[in-house]
Amino acid sequence: CRGCQFAPFLYNMMEVIFFLKLYTLYTRTRLGYMYYKRQMRKAREHYPAGHSTSFPMDLNGIRIIPISVLSDNYSYLIIDTASSLAVVVDPADPQSVQAVILEEGVMLEAILCTHKHWDHSGGNKGLKRLHSSCRVYGNAADNIPGLTHPLSHKESVTVGRMHFKALFTPGHTVGHMIYLLDGQAFGAPSSLFSGDLVFLSGCGRMFEGSATTMLSSLDIVGSLSDDTLLWPGHEYAEDNLLFAAEVEPRNATRESKYQWVLQQRGQKMCTSPSTIGEEKQYNPFLRSHSAELHLALRVQQLPDEDWTQFRARVLEELRKHKDLFNRR
């Protein structure tokens, strides 16, 4: 009957509406903040030493420290070792970040916030209270708590000898930004702090943007030099590479990275950083051009469809597959 025919569609619509309502509650109301506080308490109980073990990386005068917070987030403390001035990216749990600041004996000059979601921005105000001269950077479109210095595309932030370039990458949220630390002055590779835009072998959900918007944000990442280090906002490597195997089963680079990630995760070790060069070889979300991917997703370029339009359609399909994969 007609009812049965439409049932799956209606069910899907209900799911979408329910999900949108939840998302609005999370991002726009106090309930979202309360949920985040609860998650933080639970994570501190479950993982008193953090969800993963990580080590600082020293790059000729810059020190990058991944800080494991909540159940799978990373904040990053970045230090100019000559001046002991520091920047933190997405300090979701201010207590954990403050502990590392004290341990390193550095002065916090700036918070670089990638986007408004509580698991990235929830610690801004708490940390600012402890460091009153600290500036809070982010995009004005994103309602970032404690924002003092709104940034637009390609604006720079300088702290000590460190130069960061902010890149506007909407899609996950309307005001998502990523931050590129220039390594040249240090004779080191550059570092990209990618928030929820790109993860090891994955990309963020498209909560507030179309596939076309997300694709142009991902293309910015794909255009960076291959030796750029990638420091994402979450530890999702193992799941993401499992999904990548479904859509590109014959990709040998993906398989060897997966074996390495399994070893790391077996000991709860952090999988950051990878490099942009590596990601371009196995991250399906940076590979919307791949013929094997098109075959797996059963999408074909239409005769009058331009290449970018087609790649956006591939990305949309890929994201749908990933969302279904997560629900299994």
In whole angstroms, the minimum distance from the beta carbon of 115 to Zn ion comes to 6
Considering the candidates 80, 90, 93, 115, report the single residue annotated as catalytic.
115
Is 38 or 289 the residue whose CB approaches Zn ion more closely? Answer: 38
Is 304 one of the annotated active-site residues of the chain?
Answer: no
Tell me which residue of 145, 99, 137, 87 sits closest to 119, measured CA to CA: 145
Known catalytic residue at 196: yes
Closest separation between CB of residue 43 and Zn ion, Å? 16
Q: Which residue is nearest to Zn ion (CB)?
A: 117
**Residue of 80, 93, 196, 239 marked catalytic:** 196
Give the Cα separation of 293 and 60 in Å (integer): 39
Going by their DSSP bridges, the two strands 274-275 and 107-112 should be labelled as unpaired
What whole-number distance in Å separates Cα of residue 291 and Cα of residue 302?
A: 14
> Between residues 142 and 196, which has the closer beta carbon with respect to Zn ion?
196
Marked catalytic residue, from 172, 176, 239, 294: 172
Binding residues with Zn ion: total (CB under 5 A)? 2
CA angle 90, 93, 99 (to 5 degrees): 105
**Is 321 one of the annotated active-site residues of the chain?**
no
Residue from 90, 93, 119, 239 carrying the catalytic annotation: 119
Which listed residue (90, 176, 234, 294) is catalytic? Answer: 234
Helices (H), 29-73: 30-46
Q: What is the DSSP code string of 98-114?
A: HHHHHHHT-EEEEEE--
Residue type at position 321: H
Among 196, 208, 239, 279, binds Zn ion (CB under 5 A): 196
Query: Six-digit token pair at 117?
Result: 């979601």
Query: Quick one: 164 or 236, whose CB is closer to Zn ion?
Result: 236
Angle of CA points 275, 231, 236, to nearest 5°: 95
In angstroms, give the least distance from the CB of 290 to Zn ion. 26
- The phi and psi torsions of 155 (rounded to 5 degrees) equal -75, 155
Question: Which residues, 6+ apart, have CB-to-CB distance to 175 below 8 Å?
Answer: 115, 116, 138, 139, 140, 141, 142, 143, 144, 168
Q: Which of residues 106-165 bind Zn ion (CB under 5 A)?
A: 117
The SS3 call for residue 158 is strand
- What is the smallest separation between the CB atom of 98 and Zn ion, expressed in angstroms? 22
**Closest to Zn ion by CB, 73 or 274:** 73
| Rounded least distance, CB 122 to Zn ion, Å | 11
Measured from the CB atom, the residue of 176 and 254 that comes closer to Zn ion is 176
Q: Which is nearer to Zn ion, 71 or 83 (CB)?
A: 71
Question: Which residue out of 90, 117, 142, 239 is catalytically annotated?
Answer: 117
- Compute the least distance from the CB of residue 144 to Zn ion, in Å: 12
120 closest CA partner among 154, 88, 150: 88
Active-site residue, 234 included: yes
Q: Read off the tokens for 114.
A: 């990638």
Binding mask 74-113 for Zn ion (x = CB under 5 A): ----------------------------------------
- Positions touching Zn ion (CB under 5 A) are 117, 196
Active site residues: 115, 117, 119-120, 172, 196, 234
